[in-house]
Amino acid sequence: MIYKTVKSSLVTFSQLMLPSHSNFSGKIHGGFILSLLDQIAFACASKYSGKYCVTASVDQVDFLTPVEVGELLTLKASVNYVGRTSIVVGIRVESQNIQTGEIKHCNSSYFTMICKEENGEKSEAPKLILKNLDEVRRFYKSLHRIEEHRKAKEQIKDPVDYKSQEFLDFLLVNHQVKIEID
Protein backbone atom coordinates (compact mmCIF):
# COMPACT_ATOMS: atom_id res chain seq x y z
CA MET A 1 0.00 0.00 0.00
CA ILE A 2 1.29 3.45 -0.91
CA TYR A 3 1.11 6.33 1.57
CA LYS A 4 1.76 10.01 0.85
CA THR A 5 1.77 13.21 2.90
CA VAL A 6 -0.58 16.15 2.56
CA LYS A 7 2.51 18.23 1.78
CA SER A 8 3.07 16.19 -1.40
CA SER A 9 -0.30 17.44 -2.68
CA LEU A 10 0.13 21.20 -2.17
CA VAL A 11 -0.56 23.39 -5.18
CA THR A 12 -0.70 27.19 -5.23
CA PHE A 13 -1.83 29.16 -8.25
CA SER A 14 -1.99 32.95 -8.69
CA GLN A 15 -3.50 34.93 -11.53
CA LEU A 16 -4.07 38.63 -12.14
CA MET A 17 -7.77 39.37 -12.64
CA LEU A 18 -8.36 41.10 -15.97
CA PRO A 19 -11.35 42.99 -17.39
CA SER A 20 -12.04 39.98 -19.65
CA HIS A 21 -12.75 37.94 -16.49
CA SER A 22 -15.45 40.32 -15.25
CA ASN A 23 -19.24 40.08 -15.33
CA PHE A 24 -21.72 42.83 -16.19
CA SER A 25 -21.34 44.47 -12.78
CA GLY A 26 -17.56 44.79 -13.15
CA LYS A 27 -16.70 42.08 -10.61
CA ILE A 28 -14.86 38.89 -11.50
CA HIS A 29 -17.33 36.36 -12.86
CA GLY A 30 -18.11 33.50 -10.46
CA GLY A 31 -18.01 31.04 -13.35
CA PHE A 32 -14.43 32.06 -14.11
CA ILE A 33 -13.44 31.44 -10.49
CA LEU A 34 -15.23 28.06 -10.57
CA SER A 35 -13.18 27.11 -13.62
CA LEU A 36 -9.96 27.99 -11.76
CA LEU A 37 -11.16 25.98 -8.74
CA ASP A 38 -11.75 22.93 -10.92
CA GLN A 39 -8.31 23.27 -12.53
CA ILE A 40 -6.45 23.47 -9.22
CA ALA A 41 -8.50 20.58 -7.76
CA PHE A 42 -7.46 18.46 -10.75
CA ALA A 43 -3.81 19.53 -10.40
CA CYS A 44 -3.76 18.82 -6.65
CA ALA A 45 -5.44 15.40 -6.84
CA SER A 46 -3.40 14.32 -9.86
CA LYS A 47 -0.14 15.51 -8.31
CA TYR A 48 -0.94 13.60 -5.12
CA SER A 49 -2.15 10.39 -6.78
CA GLY A 50 0.06 10.34 -9.85
CA LYS A 51 -3.09 9.52 -11.84
CA TYR A 52 -5.68 11.21 -14.00
CA CYS A 53 -8.47 12.52 -11.76
CA VAL A 54 -11.98 13.69 -12.60
CA THR A 55 -14.37 15.88 -10.62
CA ALA A 56 -17.11 13.85 -8.93
CA SER A 57 -18.70 16.60 -6.87
CA VAL A 58 -18.23 20.11 -5.60
CA ASP A 59 -19.23 20.93 -2.06
CA GLN A 60 -20.11 24.33 -0.67
CA VAL A 61 -18.78 27.02 -2.96
CA ASP A 62 -19.68 30.22 -1.12
CA PHE A 63 -18.55 33.50 -2.66
CA LEU A 64 -17.73 35.46 0.49
CA THR A 65 -16.40 38.70 -0.99
CA PRO A 66 -16.36 39.96 -4.58
CA VAL A 67 -13.10 39.93 -6.52
CA GLU A 68 -12.18 43.12 -8.32
CA VAL A 69 -10.49 43.61 -11.68
CA GLY A 70 -6.78 44.24 -11.06
CA GLU A 71 -6.54 42.07 -7.96
CA LEU A 72 -4.24 39.08 -7.69
CA LEU A 73 -6.26 35.93 -7.07
CA THR A 74 -4.44 33.11 -5.26
CA LEU A 75 -5.81 29.59 -4.89
CA LYS A 76 -4.24 27.18 -2.41
CA ALA A 77 -5.16 23.50 -2.61
CA SER A 78 -4.32 20.42 -0.57
CA VAL A 79 -5.67 16.92 -0.09
CA ASN A 80 -7.89 16.79 3.01
CA TYR A 81 -9.22 13.23 2.79
CA VAL A 82 -8.62 10.04 0.81
CA GLY A 83 -11.07 7.18 0.37
CA ARG A 84 -10.57 4.09 -1.77
CA THR A 85 -10.70 5.88 -5.14
CA SER A 86 -11.78 9.36 -4.06
CA ILE A 87 -9.77 12.36 -2.93
CA VAL A 88 -11.25 15.42 -1.24
CA VAL A 89 -9.32 18.56 -2.13
CA GLY A 90 -9.72 21.64 0.06
CA ILE A 91 -9.21 24.97 -1.68
CA ARG A 92 -8.80 28.43 -0.17
CA VAL A 93 -9.14 31.46 -2.43
CA GLU A 94 -7.76 34.87 -1.52
CA SER A 95 -7.63 38.10 -3.49
CA GLN A 96 -4.99 40.73 -2.96
CA ASN A 97 -5.18 44.38 -3.86
CA ILE A 98 -1.70 44.75 -5.34
CA GLN A 99 -1.60 48.48 -4.62
CA THR A 100 -2.51 48.35 -0.93
CA GLY A 101 -1.47 44.78 -0.13
CA GLU A 102 -4.86 44.07 1.48
CA ILE A 103 -5.78 40.37 1.32
CA LYS A 104 -9.40 39.13 1.41
CA HIS A 105 -10.60 35.56 1.91
CA CYS A 106 -12.99 35.09 -1.03
CA ASN A 107 -13.90 31.45 -0.96
CA SER A 108 -13.26 28.04 0.58
CA SER A 109 -14.51 24.97 -1.22
CA TYR A 110 -14.14 21.22 -1.38
CA PHE A 111 -13.89 19.13 -4.54
CA THR A 112 -14.22 15.37 -4.55
CA MET A 113 -12.02 13.91 -7.25
CA ILE A 114 -11.94 10.31 -8.51
CA CYS A 115 -8.71 8.58 -9.57
CA LYS A 116 -8.88 6.91 -12.98
CA GLU A 117 -6.79 4.41 -14.92
CA GLU A 118 -5.94 5.03 -18.58
CA ASN A 119 -8.87 2.76 -19.58
CA GLY A 120 -11.28 4.97 -17.59
CA GLU A 121 -11.80 2.52 -14.72
CA LYS A 122 -11.61 3.81 -11.16
CA SER A 123 -8.21 3.43 -9.56
CA GLU A 124 -7.08 3.20 -5.93
CA ALA A 125 -5.72 6.40 -4.44
CA PRO A 126 -2.59 6.45 -2.29
CA LYS A 127 -3.46 6.56 1.41
CA LEU A 128 -2.82 9.65 3.48
CA ILE A 129 -0.19 10.36 6.13
CA LEU A 130 -1.44 12.97 8.61
CA LYS A 131 1.50 14.85 10.16
CA ASN A 132 -0.13 17.51 12.34
CA LEU A 133 -3.38 18.32 14.14
CA ASP A 134 -4.50 20.72 11.41
CA GLU A 135 -4.36 17.86 8.89
CA VAL A 136 -6.23 15.60 11.35
CA ARG A 137 -8.92 18.32 11.74
CA ARG A 138 -9.34 18.68 7.96
CA PHE A 139 -9.56 14.91 7.54
CA TYR A 140 -12.20 14.68 10.28
CA LYS A 141 -14.24 17.57 8.84
CA SER A 142 -14.21 15.82 5.45
CA LEU A 143 -15.48 12.62 7.10
CA HIS A 144 -18.23 14.66 8.77
CA ARG A 145 -19.27 16.29 5.44
CA ILE A 146 -19.36 12.87 3.76
CA GLU A 147 -21.60 11.50 6.51
CA GLU A 148 -23.92 14.55 6.31
CA HIS A 149 -24.25 14.05 2.53
CA ARG A 150 -25.17 10.38 3.06
CA LYS A 151 -27.84 11.35 5.61
CA ALA A 152 -29.26 14.01 3.29
CA LYS A 153 -29.51 11.54 0.39
CA GLU A 154 -31.39 9.08 2.61
CA GLN A 155 -33.89 11.78 3.62
CA ILE A 156 -34.49 12.76 0.00
CA LYS A 157 -35.43 9.16 -0.81
CA ASP A 158 -38.56 9.49 1.34
CA PRO A 159 -41.49 9.27 -1.06
CA VAL A 160 -43.48 12.46 -1.51
CA ASP A 161 -46.74 12.57 -3.40
CA TYR A 162 -46.18 15.70 -5.48
CA LYS A 163 -49.72 15.52 -6.85
CA SER A 164 -51.50 15.50 -3.48
CA GLN A 165 -53.46 18.57 -2.50
CA GLU A 166 -51.86 18.39 0.96
CA PHE A 167 -48.38 18.75 -0.53
CA LEU A 168 -49.45 21.53 -2.91
CA ASP A 169 -51.08 23.41 -0.02
CA PHE A 170 -47.86 23.03 1.96
CA LEU A 171 -45.93 24.72 -0.89
CA LEU A 172 -48.50 27.49 -1.20
CA VAL A 173 -48.54 28.31 2.51
CA ASN A 174 -44.89 27.83 3.42
CA HIS A 175 -43.10 28.94 0.27
CA GLN A 176 -45.43 31.54 -1.28
CA VAL A 177 -45.37 29.92 -4.72
CA LYS A 178 -48.08 30.16 -7.30
CA ILE A 179 -49.06 26.80 -8.77
CA GLU A 180 -50.65 26.84 -12.24
CA ILE A 181 -50.56 23.24 -13.46
CA ASP A 182 -52.35 22.62 -16.76
- Note whether residue 58 is domain-resident: yes
Task: Give residue 84's pLDDT.
Answer: 97
Task: Give residue 41's pLDDT.
Answer: 98
Say what percent of the chain tops pLDDT 90.
79
Domain count, the chain: 1
- Note whether residue 108 is domain-resident: yes
DSSP annotation of 157 reads: T
Residue 110: enclosing H or E segment and its boundaries?
strand 103-116
- Note whether residue 157 is domain-resident: no
CATH of the domain at 58: 3.10.129.10
Quick: pLDDT tens for 120-179.
999 999 999 999 999 999 999 999 999 998 888 887 776 788 888 898 888 889 998 888
Quick: pLDDT tens for 34-49.
999 999 999 999 999 9
Task: Give residue 158's pLDDT.
Answer: 65
Opening angle at CA 30, ends 29 and 36, nearest 5: 100
* pTM beyond cutoff 0.95: no
pLDDT band with cut points at 50, 70 and 90 for residue 109 = very high
Domain that holds residue 31: 3-130
Opening angle at CA 165, ends 162 and 168, nearest 5: 60
- Note whether residue 88 is domain-resident: yes
- Which is more confident, 104 or 60? 104
- Which is more confident, 153 or 93? 93
